[in-house]
């Protein structure tokens, strides 16, 4: 009887360990206060776990019929980025004044090997909270990538920033 309990406890411990390891880690690097300057790190290997394949397929079909609003240079929705080495990429973005409303639910950073990536469920991405204006994406594989960020309104990308092409090392 004791052997069954030991096996049961071991199985429960392994299942718990698996779920802890599979939960995405998002670390806020500014622990003193929450401001618009809060920096967030997310591991690239964990980003795709946020994508549910069924939802992605439905979203992709829906977005095929949706017009993509590109960055308007007059509106200054500007993304800048810098490769920091070791698979880290630092981003900062500036929003147009008319996008900075309480309705803004956050941002989605997207990455692709193709120019002007969109959040269609096929590209790597991760969500940023509405108060953030900078983030560091970690564990990005080496290579040349295009990045953009979109402002969310009602869980949809309302407008996209400029395209930023970076060599990640």
What separation, in Å, do the N-terminal and C-terminal C-alpha atoms of the chain show? 55
- The predicted structure's pLDDT at residue 144: 98
Give the span between the Cα atoms of 120 and 62, in whole angstroms. 9
The reported pTM is 0.60
Residue 129 · residue 101 · CB < 8 Å: no
Going from the first residue of the chain to its last (169 residues), give the mean pLDDT of each consecutive group of 10, the final group possibly shorter: 70 57 40 39 45 37 44 71 96 82 76 95 85 91 96 85 96
Query: How far lies 2's CA from each of 130, 149, 151, in Å?
Result: 53, 55, 56
- The predicted structure's pLDDT at residue 102: 56
The domains of the chain, with CATH numbers, are 28-168 (2.60.40.10)
Instruction: Kindly report the number of other CB atoms within 10 A of residue 74's CB atom.
Output: 7
- The predicted structure's pLDDT at residue 115: 96
């Amino acid at each position: 009887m004791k052997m069954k309990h030991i096996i049961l406890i071991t199985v429960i411990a392994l299942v718990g360990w698996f779920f802890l390891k599979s939960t995405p880690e998002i670390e806020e690097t500014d622990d003193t206060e929450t401001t618009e300057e809060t920096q967030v790190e997310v591991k690239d290997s964990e980003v795709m776990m946020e994508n549910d394949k069924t939802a992605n397929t439905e979203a992709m079909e829906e977005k095929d019929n949706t017009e993509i609003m590109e960055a308007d240079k007059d509106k200054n929705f500007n993304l800048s980025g810098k490769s920091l080495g070791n698979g880290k990429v630092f981003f900062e973005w500036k929003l147009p004044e008319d996008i900075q409303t309480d309705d803004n639910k956050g941002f989605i950073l997207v990455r692709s090997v193709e120019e002007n990536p969109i959040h269609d469920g096929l590209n790597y991405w991760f969500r940023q909270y509405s108060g953030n204006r900078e983030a560091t994406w970690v564990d990005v594989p080496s290579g040349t990538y295009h990045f953009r960020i979109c402002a969310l309104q009602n869980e949809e990308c309302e407008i996209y920033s400029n395209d930023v092409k970076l060599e990640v090392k």
